[in-house]
C-alpha cells in the first residue's frame, strides 16, 4: 500500500504530503507518525502541505488529530506551506485548527519548532547557537 | 398595402422634414446631439420602418422577424443617447414625436372614417411598442455602465502593498460585501505566499461601517492567513467602530487590533526583528526602538 514517507531530522520529523490525501492514506499516516515519534523520541513534527491542493473536512480533522496525538506524545506539530485556496476552504468548513501551529515554509517552520521546543525546556545541548539564530541577524 | 406603407414610400422626404420640425419644436436638446446626427437617425428610422411595414397586411401585430432590424437600430440609438446624457423620456419622445406628422398624412390619405381609425390604431400600437423599446434599451445601457463601474471599483479598491521585508498591508476602502471580501481575501493570501510575508496588516480606516457580516469576513481572513502561517493585525479601528463591535457582541478572539496603522507597523517590525532609529542630533535617539 502507498505510504507517505516520514523523514527524520535529528529530533524532528519531516512529513511532506505530495499526493492527494485520501482517507486510508491519512489513517496510515496517523499510525506511522505516532509510532515514529515514540520510536525515535522525536520532539517535533513538521508537516509540509505546500503541494496539497484539495482538502476536505476529514483531512482537516486528521491534521488536528495528528497535532493532538503528537502533543500527548510530547512533540510539537507545525503545519507549513498551506495554499490560500486550502486555507479558505478550511475556514469556510469552520475548521480553524486552533491547536496547530503554522508557518509559511519549511525553513520558518523549523525555526518555530526549535524555538518552541527550547521554550518548553527541552533545550538541546550544544545547539544554543541554532536556537538563537532566528532572533538576531535581522537588525536594520 | 397599408396606408402607412404608402405614405412612407411616396412622401418619406416630406414626412422626414415635418418630423424634424416637430422634434425641434418639442424642444429636443440640440446641445447634446448634432443636428446632422439627428437627421441621419430620423432618416434611418423612417427607411427601416418602411422596410418593416412594406407588403404587410396590417401594421398591427407585425411579426418579430420584420421588426428585428428596426429594433436593433433603436437599441443602438437609445444606447448612444443614454451616453450623450438624454433622459429616458426624451429618448422615448424621439419615437412619439413622429406620430403627429404621420397621422396628419394618414388623414389626408385615408378618407374613410373606419379604415382611418384602423390605420391610426395600428400605427399607434406599433410606435408605442417601439417607444417602450427605447426605454428598455436606455435602461440596459445604464445598467451596463453601473456594472462596469462596480467591476472597476472592485479591482481598484483592493491593492495589497508591501510595507517592509515580510510585512504586507491591505488598506481597505469602502463598504465590504461578500463579493469584494472574497476578492480581497484571495489577493491578500496570494500575496502572502508570493512574498513570504509573516505579517499582514489589514487597515480598515476607509471602511465606513462594520456590521456582524463584515466582522465575520475579517475574522475569516485572519484565520485563513493564520492557517498559512502568517499573522494578521487589524488596524485603523475608529472609536465608533470599536463601540459597534462591542455592541454587536462580535468576538474578535486573539486577533491583534490597533487604533492606527503606525501602531500596527511597529508591532510588525518587532515581530520581524527590525528596529527604527532616527539619525538626529548626536547621541540623541528620538526614534522608537523596537528591536528584539
Write the pLDDT tens digit of every residue in B179-234. 777 888 888 999 999 999 999 999 988 888 888 888 888 888 899 999 999 999 99
Interface residues from chain A to B (CB-CB < 8 Å):
79-84, 86-88, 90-92, 96-97, 102-105, 108-109, 135-140
Question: Minimal Cα distance from A93: which residue of B?
Answer: B220
Burial class (CB in 10 A: 0-12, 13-18, 19+), A128: exposed
- What are the chain B neighbours of A86 within 8 Å (beta carbons)? 227
Average pLDDT over residues B68-82: 88
Residue A37 CB partners (closer than 8 Å, separation 6+): A13, A45, A70, A73, A75
Cell of B198: 509573516
- What are the chain A neighbours of B291 within 8 Å (beta carbons)? 139
Model confidence at B31, pLDDT cuts 50, 70, 90, reads: confident
pLDDT of amino acid A37: 92
In contact, B47 and B37? CB cutoff 8 Å: no
Residues B229 and A80: their CA atoms lie apart, in Å, by: 7
> How many Cβ pairs closer than 8 A exist between chain A and B?
72
What proportion of chain A, given as a percentage, has pLDDT over 70? 84
- What are the chain A neighbours of B292 within 8 Å (beta carbons)? 135-136, 138
pLDDT of amino acid A122: 54
Average pLDDT over residues B68-87: 87
Q: Do A140 and B275 touch (CB under 8 A)?
A: yes
Average pLDDT over residues B38-46: 90
Residues B187 and A81: their CA atoms lie apart, in Å, by: 17
Which of A77-91, B60-74, B195-209 has the lowest average pLDDT? B60-74
| Of the candidates B17, B10, B4, the residue with the CA atom closest to the CA atom of residue B53 | B4
Residues B173 and B185: their CA atoms lie apart, in Å, by: 14
Q: Decide which of B49 and B252 is more confident.
A: B49
* Closest Cα in chain A, distance from residue B204 (Å): 21
Question: Tens digit of pLDDT for each residue in A53-62?
Answer: 888 888 888 8
* Closest Cα in chain B, distance from residue A1 (Å): 30
For B161, list phi and psi in degrees, rounded to 5: -110, 150
Q: Is the pLDDT of residue B40 over 50?
A: yes
Dihedral sign from CA coordinates of B106, B112, B113, B119: negative
Question: Tens digit of pLDDT for each residue in B121-169?
Answer: 888 988 898 889 889 988 888 898 899 988 887 766 678 899 988 999 9
Model confidence at B7, pLDDT cuts 50, 70, 90, reads: confident
Residue B139 CB partners (closer than 8 Å, separation 6+): B88
Amino acid at each position: 500500500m502507498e505510504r507517505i514517507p516520514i523523514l527524520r531530522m535529528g529530533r524532528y520529523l519531516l512529513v511532506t504530503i505530495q499526493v492527494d490525501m485520501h482517507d486510508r492514506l491519512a489513517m496510515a499516516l496517523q499510525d506511522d507518525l505516532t509510532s515514529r515519534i515514540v520510536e525515535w523520541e522525536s520532539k517535533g513534527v513538521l508537516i509540509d502541505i505546500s503541494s496539497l491542493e484539495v482538502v476536505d473536512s476529514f483531512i482537516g480533522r486528521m491534521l488536528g488529530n495528528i497535532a493532538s496525538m503528537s502533543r500527548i506524545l510530547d512533540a510539537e506539530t507545525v503545519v507549513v506551506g498551506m495554499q490560500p485556496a486550502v486555507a479558505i476552504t478550511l475556514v469556510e468548513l469552520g475548521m480553524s485548527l486552533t491547536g496547530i501551529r503554522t508557518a509559511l515554509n519549511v525553513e520558518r517552520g523549523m525555526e518555530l519548532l526549535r524555538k518552541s521546543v527550547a521554550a518548553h525546556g527541552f533545550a538541546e545541548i550544544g545547539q544554543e547557537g541554532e536556537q538563537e539564530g532566528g532572533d538576531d541577524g535581522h537588525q536594520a | 398595402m397599408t396606408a402607412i406603407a404608402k405614405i412612407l414610400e411616396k412622401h418619406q422626404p416630406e414626412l422626414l422634414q415635418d418630423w424634424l420640425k416637430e422634434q425641434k419644436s418639442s424642444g429636443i436638446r440640440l446641445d447634446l446631439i448634432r443636428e446632422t446626427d439627428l437627421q441621419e437617425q430620423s432618416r434611418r428610422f423612417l427607411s427601416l420602418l418602411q422596410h418593416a411595414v412594406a407588403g404587410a397586411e396590417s401594421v398591427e401585430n407585425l411579426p418579430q422577424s420584420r421588426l428585428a432590424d428596426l429594433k436593433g437600430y433603436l437599441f443602438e440609438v437609445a444606447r448612444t443617447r443614454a451616453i450623450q446624457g438624454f433622459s429616458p423620456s426624451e429618448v422615448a419622445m424621439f419615437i412619439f414625436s413622429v406620430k403627429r406628422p404621420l397621422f396628419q398624412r394618414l388623414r389626408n390619405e385615408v378618407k374613410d372614417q373606419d379604415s382611418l381609425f384602423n390605420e391610426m390604431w395600428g400605427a399607434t400600437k406599433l410606435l408605442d411598442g417601439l417607444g417602450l423599446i427605447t426605454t428598455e434599451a436606455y435602461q440596459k445601457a445604464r445598467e451596463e455602465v453601473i456594472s462596469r463601474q462596480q467591476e472597476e471599483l472592485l479591482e481598484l479598491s483592493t491593492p495589497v502593498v508591501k510595507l517592509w521585508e515580510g510585512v504586507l498591508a491591505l488598506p481597505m476602502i469602502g463598504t465590504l460585501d461578500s463579493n469584494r471580501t472574497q476578492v480581497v481575501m484571495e489577493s491578500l493570501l496570494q500575496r502572502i505566499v508570493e512574498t513570504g510575508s509573516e505579517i499582514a496588516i489589514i487597515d480598515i480606516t476607509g471602511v465606513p461601517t462594520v456590521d456582524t457580516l463584515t466582522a465575520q469576513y475579517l475574522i475569516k481572513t485572519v484565520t485563513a492567513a493564520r492557517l498559512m502561517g502568517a499573522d494578521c493585525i487589524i488596524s485603523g479601528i475608529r472609536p465608533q467602530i470599536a463601540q459597534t463591535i462591542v455592541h454587536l457582541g462580535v468576538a474578535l478572539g486573539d486577533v491583534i487590533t490597533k487604533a492606527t496603522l503606525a501602531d500596527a507597523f511597529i508591532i510588525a517590525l518587532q515581530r520581524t526583528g527590525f528596529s527604527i532609529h532616527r539619525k538626529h542630533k548626536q547621541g540623541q535617539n528620538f526614534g522608537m526602538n523596537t528591536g528584539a
